[in-house]
Structure 1
Amino acid sequence: MHILIVTDQHPESLGGVQVAIRMQRRALERLGHRVTVAAPALHRRGYATAAADRAAYIDLPSRPITRDREYGISWPGRRTDRALAGALADLPPVDLVHVQGDFWGAMIGVRAARGLRVPIVHTMHNHVDEGTRAVTPLAPVAFAGLRAWRRLALGATRGGVDRGSRGAWRYLAELAAEAAAVTAPSQHFAEALEHHGVSRKVLVTPNGVDDEAIRVARGEERSERSRPKLVWLGRMSHEKRVLEFIEAIATSGIDADVTLHGAGLLLPRVEQRIAALGLADRVTVAGPVPYASALAALGDADALVQTSIGFETQGLTPFEAAALGTPTIFSDPEIAADVDVAQKWIVADETVGALARTLRQATSELAADAPSTRVDASVATRFLQSARTEEMLAVYEAALAEA
């Protein structure tokens, strides 16, 4: 079949959703399906689409929305419709639209599916309520704005919407009403979507990690070390609590090497805080790195530190770490429950002090007997993309059967 994936951000930009989409596309292609990904054109300086990906990507007209030009916006309207339709004209007919966005990507995807007269599978990756409240005190106004934007782009809602849904959840419910199937990448987020009236039935379709990339990363020898190695991966933004992590390192006084992988608007403040707290001998900022390098860092580490709370709808890095045998220090107990491995540490509450105490406990145990803390290789297979792709294909087939 030919699946059109429409998303908010370009697959080659930074982010767990983007990684998941790249993995899904390659796994589906290996099974003989065609996947086309439509997203805002990427404006990052020096970026060029790899030859292997060129035929699979449709770069929609866009403009950058962040200072580092990493993320962009494509306006859902006739201009974007024409660009997408023109790019699809020379390709085989689309069988299904898989919306993997919650903002402009969702609206563009719905408009495309209406024009193509094909069903929609909508995977909701973004905790719109929590994420919006984390960055603005005017969240209710933002939610009303999103609903108005959706009406402007899509018109009247097609299908029933639970009258009990409110705010961001109401906005998502209006998008979900267009879909033949609604999915979420974790059990805890699927339950939240159902509880808030977004959809009566939300299927759980976790994102997987690339089989071959994991095999290669597992084959690399771990580096020598004199003290535990911790890694943090992600976008450096407030909801990821990276500054709280820096404070906890200083408070804990741990004797460990800590490397931060990623970038974002808080990067300058992160670097300043590391210097101000005198942590340069323990904490290194590696910046953004290619996916293979991120996996290599995860596999080489003694533990991953996951710091966001209540924001992630899955949190892919602990799954990647577990697939490589690396345990995680979890700040979010719901992510810990979704990963569900024996080797882990869970922070007691949201305070910096609690994170510092858990860092001390984990590094002490790692220094004493690191090999015993590795995640058993026998559980890794359930995190691989090959297993997850079969689950998604079943969702596609059910949606097509009902169309």
Structure 2
Amino acid sequence: MHILIATDQHPESLGGAQVSIRLQKKYLEKAGHLVSIAAPGMHREHVQDDGYLELPSFPITFDREYALTRPGRRSDRALDDLVAQRGRVDVVHIQGDFWGAIIGLRYARRHGIPVVLTFHNNMEFGLRKTVPFPRLVTKLLLAIEGRSLGGQQSLLRPDAWRYLNELALRADAVTAPSRHFAALLRQKGVAQEIDVVRTGADDDVIDDVLANVEREKGARPTLVWMGRMSHEKRILEFLQAIERADVDAEVRLYGQGLLLSKAREFVAKHRLRDRVVFAGKVPYRDSLASIAAADALVQTSIGFETQGMTVFEAAALGTTSIVCDPEIAAELPEGVYVEPADESIDALADTLRHVVEDATSDGAARPSPHASESFRQSAQTARMLEIYERVLEQTPPTAASTV
């Protein structure tokens, strides 16, 4: 079948959802399917792929990493022309919450194609953390959504959950990447029938990394942290915990973001350069290799993540995770993670201290990668294919409509 994925950001830009989409594309193609990804054109150098359908866009961040495509007739025509070169679409898979979702839904309606919708983001939490007037922004988004999709259908009160409900009402199936996020969506009235399909770890890379990983006995313990350096990820709180823990370990920070300069300033001011390394943005395989070689992966956000991508990868690699978010911890099998006593910086510092002490004395047993086979992408792709086939069986052919 031909699956059209519509998303808010280019799949080669930085972000967990983008990693997830690239992996889904790879394993759907390995299963013999054609995948096209509709996304805003990226305004910096990036990997080219025939399956990337780059729509007219303009950059929205200073580093030109992220861009926006205005939903409307121009983007409709552009997408129709690009898809025509790839062949008839069987399923539209929406993997975005904003312009990507609207553009994808408009395409599906024009052509009478069933829709699978994956929610990746806790939009209500994200807006509160990232914009100065979240209620005003939400009202604006609801107005744009209603106008772009031909009117409002939701009966929920006008907030971020209503915005997501408007999207869900136009889908034939809804999925979420974790049990805890699916439960939250149900609680808020966004959708009731929700399939949980996790983001998996790349089987090929996992096998390659495990075959080649080198862990030196007696070496200085290593902790890794990965993600966007932003307030909701709690990067500065993590650095404070490192200072308080005062352990002899190398802490490698992978990623970029708006708080990178502040993080560097903190490290310099508190004389942590002998412990903290800013490793930047690295290829996917290198990130997994660093997790595999580390004594622990540290996950620091609380209440924001809708899935635990890096901790799932760590589990598949046999590396312990320090998990601050109890909702993410609940997604993991016993024995692959440790959890601070509470949400405080002191509790995280205590956990860092214990993990490093165990690593120094070789007292920490590593989890077995075989206990986490379900975290591999091949298993998750098989689950998603079942959902695609289900909506195709349930959706009778319809004539294309206009928007």
Q: Per-residue displacement from partner, 1:97-152 (whole Å, max 9, x unpaired)?
A: 00000111110110111112101100000100111111235222221111111012
Query: Could you list the runs of 5+ residues in structure 2 that have no partner in the other structure?
Result: 396-403
Identity within the alignment, %: 50
1:236 paired residue among 201, 226, 229:
229
The answer as to whether partners of 1:172 and 1:198 remain within 8 angstroms in 2 is yes
Within-5 A mapping of 1:2-401 = 2-44=2-44, 46-49=45-48, 54-157=49-152, 161=154, 163-164=155-156, 166-224=158-216, 226-369=219-362, 372-401=364-393
Q: Secondary structure at the match of 1:309?
A: coil
- Cα distance in 2 for residues equivalent to 1:279 and 1:165: 48
Report deviation, 1:368. 2.1
The answer as to whether partners of 2:318 and 2:336 remain within 8 angstroms in 1 is no
Report deviation, 1:369. 2.2
Counterpart amino acid of 2:205? A
The answer as to whether partners of 1:166 and 1:196 remain within 8 angstroms in 2 is no
- Cα distance in 2 for residues equivalent to 1:324 and 1:56: 29
Report deviation, 1:48. 4.3
Q: Secondary structure at the match of 1:305?
A: strand
Deviates more, 1:1-10 or 1:87-96: 87-96
Q: Per-residue displacement from partner, 1:330-359 (whole Å, max 9, x unpaired)?
A: 010111111223132112222211211111
- Cα distance in 2 for residues equivalent to 1:68 and 1:306: 25
Q: Per-residue displacement from partner, 1:57-84 (whole Å, max 9, x unpaired)?
A: 1011111111111111111111111111
- Cα distance in 1 for residues equivalent to 2:160 and 2:349: 33
Q: Per-residue displacement from partner, 1:359-398 (whole Å, max 9, x unpaired)?
A: 112212222225x431112213111111001110111111
Root mean square deviation, CA, Å:
1.3
Q: Partner residue of 2:398?
A: none
Counterpart amino acid of 1:229? T
- Cα distance in 2 for residues equivalent to 1:347 and 1:323: 22
Counterpart amino acid of 1:148? A
- Cα distance in 2 for residues equivalent to 1:65 and 1:137: 16
TM-score (norm 2): 0.95
- Cα distance in 2 for residues equivalent to 1:321 and 1:136: 32
Q: Per-residue displacement from partner, 1:199-240 (whole Å, max 9, x unpaired)?
A: 121111111111101111111232435321000000111110
Deviates more, 1:342-351 or 1:65-74: 342-351
Counterpart amino acid of 2:76? D
Deviates more, 1:357-366 or 1:252-261: 357-366
Counterpart amino acid of 2:134? A
Number of equivalent positions: 394
Counterpart amino acid of 2:190? V
- Cα distance in 2 for residues equivalent to 1:358 and 1:140: 37
- Cα distance in 2 for residues equivalent to 1:75 and 1:327: 43
Report runs of 4+ in structure 1 exceeding 3 Å deviation.
Answer: 163-166
Counterpart amino acid of 2:334? V
- Cα distance in 1 for residues equivalent to 2:187 and 2:109: 28
Deviates more, 1:121-130 or 1:132-141: 132-141
The answer as to whether partners of 2:12 and 2:47 remain within 8 angstroms in 1 is no
- Cα distance in 1 for residues equivalent to 2:245 and 2:118: 39
Report deviation, 1:43. 1.2
- Cα distance in 1 for residues equivalent to 2:335 and 2:77: 51
Counterpart amino acid of 1:40? P
Q: Per-residue displacement from partner, 1:9-52 (whole Å, max 9, x unpaired)?
A: 111111111111111111111111111011111112x3341xxx
- Cα distance in 2 for residues equivalent to 1:150 and 1:48: 31
Deviates more, 1:204-213 or 1:361-370: 361-370
The answer as to whether partners of 2:213 and 2:289 remain within 8 angstroms in 1 is no
Residues 21 and 62 of structure 1: CA distance in aligned 2, closer, same or farther (over 3 Å)? same
TM-score (norm 1): 0.95
The answer as to whether partners of 1:16 and 1:315 remain within 8 angstroms in 2 is no
The answer as to whether partners of 1:165 and 1:197 remain within 8 angstroms in 2 is no
- Cα distance in 1 for residues equivalent to 2:128 and 2:299: 20
- Cα distance in 1 for residues equivalent to 2:42 and 2:280: 19
Residues 373 and 144 of structure 1: CA distance in aligned 2, closer, same or farther (over 3 Å)? farther
The answer as to whether partners of 1:299 and 1:321 remain within 8 angstroms in 2 is yes
Query: Could you list the runs of 5+ residues in structure 1 that have no partner in the other structure?
Result: none
- Cα distance in 2 for residues equivalent to 1:307 and 1:230: 13
